[in-house]
Structure 1
Amino acid sequence: MALPSDTLLFHRRVLISAAVRAGYAHTCRYEEPAARREIARMTGVVMSVCGPGRGPTTPSMLIDALHRPLEEIAPELFSDVAVRGLTILQNGDLSDDVYSEGCEDIVELLSGGVDPARGWLPTWAWMHAELVENEAFRRINEGANEDEYTAHRYFVVKNPAGAERQLAQLFAEAVGMRKSVRYVPIPADQVFRDKYWWPCPVCQWPMHVDEFEVRCRFPLHDAVYFVRRDSSKGRPLLQPRDGDVPRQPAARVFLREGPDRSMCVETAVWRHIVISGVSEVYLFERLDRLRLHGVHVEIWPNKDRIDLLVKVPATGWVKTLDVKDYASAVSLADKICQKPLAARTIVIPDYRGEAQRDELTALLPNMEVLLVSEVISQVKAQIRKAKRQ
């Protein structure tokens, strides 16, 4: 299996980026004076990608098209990828697809120029993942040693939201530094009746609230609930949407002001640092429990040059791992080809499945690709081998 051409991939990313920006602008067109101008600008970008006489040619046509899969705008750009069903708008609001899939392919549309929308667009709508990461940790990288960097990143993944004073205290105890990534007040659409918020049981970031539905906007976390009428100690309770959602997080009190006001990391940090970090930390913690059996594991050594270094000294077994969580195997493979990894093994969450693992293996024949569970199985096999020696 071969990767699509660089031109096709670039045009796809430009179209996705323009669609995401136009979709966000549409959701705030009544509050933001520049939103309608942004939709018009992005219509021009989409027309340029699609070519003469193809695709939406007016802002209203573009907004209508964003309520349908993007493959209908440019079928030739999406014929080979899992994200061909990506839909930007749903009932006039941003769909969860934007957060789970659209953010993966964001590119700078005005590279080297002045982007007039950056003053009001959220960073995730125009920053690609590497830029988000660099900006988030820029303040601590200059003065932090490797242990401080690791502790800081670990803290952000484990504590993406909470009461401001408590977060500060926990940060001081865990990291011992004053500088941290920026936390902001929890947005209104993640608060129930201006009184409560719920952390996703997987990533711990505040879930989206849509009247009486509460859900994590990363669908693969499988966290969708309804607010029940009864309560516990005066706080609303959640009811899982179906039997596949076993966890029911407790409601947290929302405070808008004061030293204990409710805060969370920005959406861009959640999507590009916390989401991937959840899988990295999960794998690290599972392997770290095996230390007594002769397993040595490090997370983000050399300031994240690789994600995990795993060794079983008794058998001489060593693996360098990079955990990746992408909807599109094609996009991920292309980015790795453009910027090769220091690690020799790519690890994907189990929810991405064997199909994506096999697709990545075909696209990247020089790399080993494993599911998280397969890494754990390999390490346990090495422990059994060591005991037989």
Structure 2
Amino acid sequence: MQFVDGLTGPLAPLLPASLRQDCDDVPLVEQDQLSPAAADLLMENLAPSLAPQDVAGWSIPQLGAEKVQGWLYGQMLNTGSEEGYRRARKAVIDNAAGVMHIVLDAIKAAGLPREGLVEQIPAWAWVLHEGERYWFGCPVCRYPMTVQLGRVACLYPPHDKALGGPVTVRTPKGRRPAVGAWNHQRVTDLGGTDAIEAATVESHVCLVRPAWRYSVIPGCEELRLYRLLSVMPDVSVTLWPFTDRYDLHVQAGRRRLPWRVDVKDYADPARLVTELVRKDAVRDPSVVIVVPDYRSSQVGVLNERLRRHLGTRRTVAMTSAVFLKTVAKAVGA
């Protein structure tokens, strides 16, 4: 009975100490349903890395996300050029949600189809107030935040944590809903905006959830790094080179070897190592795996396991902050 009761909390206390990982501290249940953090881990470990046609006949609902992402990647490639791919990818990241005609026009201009990519603002994001439906976008990724018990929270746990947890919604009479206090500095550090304002559900749309999770979420950090590197003196940076073979090509000063940066944002470092080893691109000494600063606890595990696999002592993985300092040091900034 104690074991069953423990299944509503983190798995860590139920496991032998030798088998525990950081991700085992994630609570399984929040507000009588699977927690967002646990759902994220489930998606990473359940969906196999197969082509869309390989999973088309599978009946497990979660695998739909894998198919959507494969389809979207194919649509981006169909733009026909590296620049077309770059424009399409950025259009998706910059238009996670918003006014219908603005989102649809941006997607069309980038050469992407609207059908299958965009949907109405989901009911789980509605704030009902004086006969009108409103929604709030996350200040980091701009995707609709979920509403529960008079509070809003981003579906992506690190963004929710940056806000300081779920944010209280105020519903003043005769005015639009507004949110209470939240952590502006931590959101700004992630490249987010400085405002969370209510928008009406009518005439607004958002991306389908898999496109948000697997294109917008990693894209937020990739674009943040690109912008910061672009203003560094004596640094040249290319975003998604060779049609997204990796994320950033960075050349600094007189340094002979460039950095080929692959930005990875996984909840489960063990799953990430498996993916990296399978692709084997990390054997290239110019490749560096960069994780967002909120994944700093993963760096030790990633380096230990990747070094063992590669038979090397070099630093393979680092946080965004450490990478930026490394580049700045290379150019004497």
- Paired amino acid for 1:226: T
- Contact 1:100-1:217 within 8 A present in 2 as well: no
Partners in 2 of 1:168 and 1:280 — Cα distance? 23
Query: Does residue 227 of the first structure (1) align with residue 169 of the second (2)?
Result: yes
Alignment of 1:68-217 (within 5 A): 68-70=9-11, 75=15, 79-107=19-47, 114-116=57-59, 121=61, 125-127=62-64, 131-172=67-108, 175=110, 177-179=111-113, 182-193=117-128, 195-217=133-155
Match of 2:190 in 1: none
Q: Which amino acid aligns with 1:347?
A: V
What CA distance in whole angstroms lies between the structure 2 residues aligned with 1:83 and 1:128? 21
Q: CA RMSD in A?
A: 3.2
Helix, strand or coil at the partner of 1:205: coil
Match of 2:251 in 1: 311
Q: Percent identity?
A: 24
Superposition map of 1:370-389 within 5 A:
370-384=318-332
The amino acid across from 2:198 in the alignment is A
Larger Rg: 1
Tell me, what secondary structure is at the counterpart of 1:384?
Answer: coil
Q: How much has 1:316 moved relative to structure 2?
A: 3.1
1:361 aligned to 2:308?
A: no
TM (norm. structure 1) is: 0.69
- Is 1:274 equivalent to 2:216 in the alignment? yes
C-alpha distance in structure 1 between counterparts of 2:10 and 2:294, whole Å: 22
1:314 to 1:114, Cα distance in 2 relative to 1, 3 A: closer
Partner of 1:67: 8
Structure 1 residue 243 displacement after superposition = 8.2
- State whether residues 157 and 277 of structure 1, in contact with CA within 8 Å, keep that contact through their aligned partners in structure 2: yes
Q: CA deviation at 1:171?
A: 3.6
1:250 deviates by 1.0
Indicate the SS of the match to 2:180.
strand
Contact 2:99 2:204 in 1 (8 A): yes
Displacement of 1:80: 3.3
Matching residue's letter, 1:278: C
Residues 238 and 142 of structure 1, relative CA distance in 2, 3 Å threshold: same
**Alignment partner, residue 239 of structure 2:** 299
Per-residue displacement from partner, 1:152-210 (whole Å, max 9, x unpaired)?
1111112111122111233455x3x2535711111100111161111111111111111
Asked if 1 retains the 8 angstrom alpha-carbon contact of 2:252 and 2:330, the reply is yes
Aligned length, in residue pairs: 305
Whole-angstrom CA distance in 1 between matches of 2:268 and 2:78: 33
1:348 aligns with one of 291, 299, 318: 291
Q: What is the CA deviation profile of residues 332-360 of structure 1, one whole-angstrom value per residue up to 9, with x for unaligned ones?
A: 1122112223661000111112x321221
* Amino acid corresponding to residue 98 of structure 2 in structure 1: G
Amino acid at match of 1:98: A
Residue 333 of structure 1: aligned partner: 273
Q: TM-score, structure 2 length as denominator?
A: 0.80
Instruction: For residue 326 of structure 1, give the secondary structure of its aligned residue in structure 2.
Output: coil
Cα gap change, 1:198/1:310 in structure 2, threshold over 3 Å: closer, same or farther? same
Structure 1, unaligned runs of 5 or more: 1-55, 256-260
For residue 325 of structure 2, what is the amino acid of its counterpart?
S
1:319 shift after superposition: 0.5
Q: Is the 8 A contact 1:295 1:310 kept in 2?
A: yes
